[in-house]
């Protein structure tokens, strides 16, 4: 089999040993997103309870 390359694809990056990552100062946002998600799901549970109680 022969390896065919697509002429529309860009050239691959060369290895750079001095590359230290995309961003120097990164922060964790996962806990904030988890907190918002828990509030969102809790609000849906409360709304389901209110709807179930109201429209029996």
- For residues 2-28, give the mean pLDDT: 79
- Domain membership flag for residue 43: yes
Distances 43 to 8, 34, 40 between C-alpha atoms, Å = 48, 14, 5
Report the domain count for the chain.
1
- Domain membership flag for residue 13: no
Expressed as residue numbers, the domain containing 41 is: 28-56
Q: Is a pLDDT exceeding 50 seen at residue 15?
A: yes
Whether the full predicted model's pTM is greater than 0.75, yes or no, is no
> And the tokens for 52?
């179930």
How far is the C-alpha of 35 from the C-alpha of 42, rounded, in Å? 11
Q: pLDDT digits over 34-51, tens only?
A: 999 999 999 999 999 999
- Domain membership flag for residue 41: yes
């Amino acid at each position: 089999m022969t390896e065919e390359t697509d002429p529309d694809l860009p050239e691959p990056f060369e290895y750079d040993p001095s590359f230290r990552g995309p961003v120097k100062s990164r922060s964790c946002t996962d806990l904030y997103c988890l907190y918002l998600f828990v509030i969102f799901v809790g609000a849906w549970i409360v709304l389901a309870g209110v709807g179930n109680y109201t429209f029996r």
